[in-house]
Each structure stands twice: as C-alpha cells, then as structure tokens.
Amino acid sequence: MVDNPDAELKGIWAHSSGVRNFVGIDYIYATKGDGNNTARFPVKLEKAGQYEVHISYTHHPNRSSNTLVKILHKDGVATRRINQQKQPSLDGYFISLGTYGFPEGVHVALEISNEGANGTIVADAVQFIPSDSPELTKARLPTKGAFKNNSNLNSELNRLTEELKRLEKKAVKIPIILFPGNVTGVVPQADAILFSSLLNSENPYYIAQAQALGAPNVLKFGLEALPTAYLVIGEGTSAWFVGNVRGIPFDKPKIAAAYSLSAQFLGMRFVYLEAGSGAKQNITPEMVKTVRSVFKGFLIVGGGIKDTKTAKALVKAGADGLVIGTLLEQTGGLKKFTEIIKSIRK
C-alpha cells in the first residue's frame, strides 16, 4: 500500500477529508488543467512479477470522469482514463487497473495527472498485489471511513493513537521539530515546525503557496510555527534544483545578509542558510558573520559540514544551530558527529 503522503507531487494539491471512504487520514485533490498537476506513487517490491494494481479515490459529482492514470510497468507505460464520479467497485474504496509486470526494488509505478481532466481529480492510495496471492480480494487496509462505521474499532483506534503519542513523548526527551519539504511533511507527531519560505526561489509555490496549503494542518495539529526564511546558497544541489532557486553565490555574503534582513523585517525569527544536502562546499564563516551582523534572530547553517574545524568556525562566526545529515550516513559518521558536538561545547 502506498498512501498519498508518500506520493511525489508536482503543482498545487490540497488535502481534504470531506468526502468519505478514503485510506489513511485524508486524500489529496487538484483542479482540472493541462497536466501541470501530477502525483507519482513510488513502490518497493520485494520480488519481480505480475501485480494487480488497485487505486482508491473518493467519488463525487464534481470529480473528473476521465482522470488520467499512467501505470509505469516493466514493458512500458499503460494509460487509463477513470471515472471518479462513480463509486469504486472494490468495497467502495478501490478499483482495479489491471495486472502488469514490475521489476524488483523501488521505482515510481503509477502517476495521476490532471491532463485533459474535466473536473477535480483525486489521489488517495495505491495497492500492488501479487497476482498469485490468495489474499488478492482481501487486501484492503482499514480506512478512516471504515472506522467511522464501527464504534468499537473507532474507540480502539483512538486508544492506540493516544498510546503511541505517550510512548513517543516517553522515548524522546527533546522537542521534535519538523522541517518538511512539502505540505505532505506536516504531521501531528511533533512539537513544532520550521514554517519556512524559500525566499530566493523563482517559483511562487515555494515562497507562499505551499505555506498556504500547509497552514490549516499546522493549526489543526497544534504545532508551534517557527517562522523561517530558507535561503539556498550556491547551485547544483537537490534543494537548488527542486526549489527552482536563484542560488546566492558563496562569495556574495552581502546578498545573503540583505535577504536575512528582509526576513527580519517580515517578522521571521529564524534564518536557515542552506548549502544543500551533501554539498561539496559549506557556507563560509564570512557569510555567517555578515548575516549575523544584521539578523538578530536564530541563525541556522547547514550543508557540507564534515569536520570539527568547519563546525567551530561557523559557530564562532555567529551560527546558533548547525544542520548535519549526510555525515551521519557515512561510515564512521557517528563518531565524527560526536567529536563535532564535543568541540563546539568546549
């Protein structure tokens, strides 16, 4: 089962739970258009073989009657048009798109698009069920809508949810702060969120539109919003590419300072200078010092920090917090990370 929070989204999508019979906590929808909105579902298959593909959606008269679905199988791409105005035939949640061959491993296997749609399109969840599975007709996960129809199950779900929250708080003694890459990363199991705007993006979606889509869930989940200016420095990283960024050159600290000052005037209390995950070059101490001279809030620096010397120099220049991720994924990374922490605390 692949639910909509795991989908790779392009364009503007909104979350909703207004129409019943959806999988998980909600579904997502987009307006009709020319293919500018797509939801791609990655799947991890333990073995190669034939799989029957099921897709779920919430039906409604305002839905598209010709929603475009592409199945990316091992022999090519199969195209289907589905009528999302009709109630799904499998338990009221899913329809079958047919059986296809898929390779082993992780890959994008299905795409939903608003290309040619004549109404609202919905993306909820996708199932990939082995064609030789005796449980093929039973492979339906319980959904929120299903729990609503059974008070005992609903009560048990609420009890388990509260128990999970209790265990999470018991296991983790420090606040959990989210740093989502998109609206799907706004989840309730946290204390706060870096509510960030990618100020030097050339795509308005990452400056204000994603924030507008995510704000209702921040309120709903009771997360503390930490207003953050997210600035990508340099070029060539995933953050630069995905965010459609006009990268600030590493040797132009005054430009970073100008953005940071504007963020302060806009009421933002945090600035995050991001070189990018696995960056070959880290933010320079000179840039940190220049930003620090004008920005009075909490200054975060991340990307390309691999040793104690770099970390100490950035902290000395004025960084309040460092983001270190790629280093921990490398052999011996935890030891180096521990050394960095000890050196900063001296």
Does residue 304 share a domain with residue 320? Answer: yes
Which pLDDT score is estimated for 331? Answer: 74
CB-neighbour burial class of residue 137 (10 A; exposed 0-12, middle 13-18, buried 19+) = exposed
Q: Taking 90 as the threshold, does the pLDDT of residue 146 lie above it?
A: no
> pTM of whole model > 0.85?
no
Classify strands 270-274 and 224-232 as parallel, antiparallel or unpaired: parallel
CATH number at residue 56: 2.60.120.260
Does residue 198 share a domain with residue 151? Answer: no
Q: Please compute the mean of the pLDDT values over residues 310-314 and round it to a whole number.
A: 94
* Banded model confidence at residue 134, pLDDT cuts 50, 70, 90: low
Task: Name the least confident of 91-100, 114-123, 133-142, 179-188.
Answer: 133-142
Q: Taking 90 as the threshold, does the pLDDT of residue 344 lie above it?
A: no
Long-range contacts, stretch 326-333, CB < 8 angstroms, 24+ apart: 326/277, 326/278
DSSP string, 277-307: TT-SSPPPHHHHHHHHTT--SEEEEESS--S
Q: Please compute the mean of the pLDDT values over residues 250-259 and round it to a whole number.
A: 97
CATH number at residue 219: 3.20.20.390
Which pLDDT score is estimated for 34? Answer: 85
pLDDT tens digits along 89-124: 888 889 999 999 999 998 888 999 999 999 999 999
Q: Which residues contact 216 (CB under 8 A, 6 or more apart)?
A: none
Q: Please compute the mean of the pLDDT values over residues 71-93 and round it to a whole number.
A: 93
Task: Name the least confident of 1-15, 144-158, 277-291.
Answer: 144-158
Task: Name the least confident of 66-80, 159-173, 306-320.
Answer: 159-173
Does residue 195 share a domain with residue 61? Answer: no
Does residue 332 share a domain with residue 186? Answer: yes
Does residue 206 share a domain with residue 163? Answer: no
Number of domains in the chain: 3
Q: Which residues contact 286 (CB under 8 A, 6 or more apart)?
A: 253, 317
Q: Taking 50 as the threshold, does the pLDDT of residue 160 lie above it?
A: yes
Q: Where are the beta strands (DSSP E) in 31-186?
A: 38-45, 49-56, 67-73, 76-82, 94-102, 105-113, 121-123, 125-130, 177-178
Which pLDDT score is estimated for 141? Answer: 45
3-state SS assignment for residue 187: coil
Does residue 230 share a domain with residue 158? Answer: no
Does residue 223 share a domain with residue 164? Answer: no
Does residue 294 share a domain with residue 219? Answer: yes
Classify strands 67-73 and 105-113 as parallel, antiparallel or unpaired: antiparallel
Higher-confidence residue of 325 and 112: namely: 112
Is residue 17 within 8 Å of 27, Cβ to Cβ? yes
Instruction: Say how far apart CA 21 and CA 143 lie, in whole Å.
Output: 7
Q: Taking 60 as the threshold, does the pLDDT of residue 135 lie above it?
A: no
Q: Which residues contact 2 (CB under 8 A, 6 or more apart)?
A: 41, 42, 43, 125, 126, 127, 128
Is residue 105 within 8 Å of 117, Cβ to Cβ? no
Please name the helix (run of DSSP H) or strand (run of DSSP E) that holds residue 240, with its range, or none: helix 238-242
Q: Taking 90 as the threshold, does the pLDDT of residue 176 lie above it?
A: no
Does residue 268 share a domain with residue 130? Answer: no
Which pLDDT score is estimated for 150? Answer: 47
- Two tokens, residue 99: 């059986």
Instruction: Say how far apart CA 191 and CA 118 lie, in whole Å.
Output: 41
Which pLDDT score is estimated for 148? Answer: 44
Q: Which residues contact 207 (CB under 8 A, 6 or more apart)?
A: 197, 198, 199, 201
Q: Taking 50 as the threshold, does the pLDDT of residue 270 lie above it?
A: yes
* Banded model confidence at residue 145, pLDDT cuts 50, 70, 90: very low
Averaged pLDDT score across all residues of the chain: 87
Instruction: Say how far apart CA 84 and CA 59 lie, in whole Å.
Output: 5
Does residue 152 share a domain with residue 102? Answer: no
Does residue 257 share a domain with residue 267? Answer: yes
Q: The domain containing residue 80 runs over which residues?
A: 2-141
* Banded model confidence at residue 343, pLDDT cuts 50, 70, 90: confident
Does residue 154 share a domain with residue 113? Answer: no
Share of the chain above pLDDT 70, in %: 88
Share of the chain above pLDDT 90, in %: 60
Q: Taking 70 as the threshold, does the pLDDT of residue 155 lie above it?
A: no
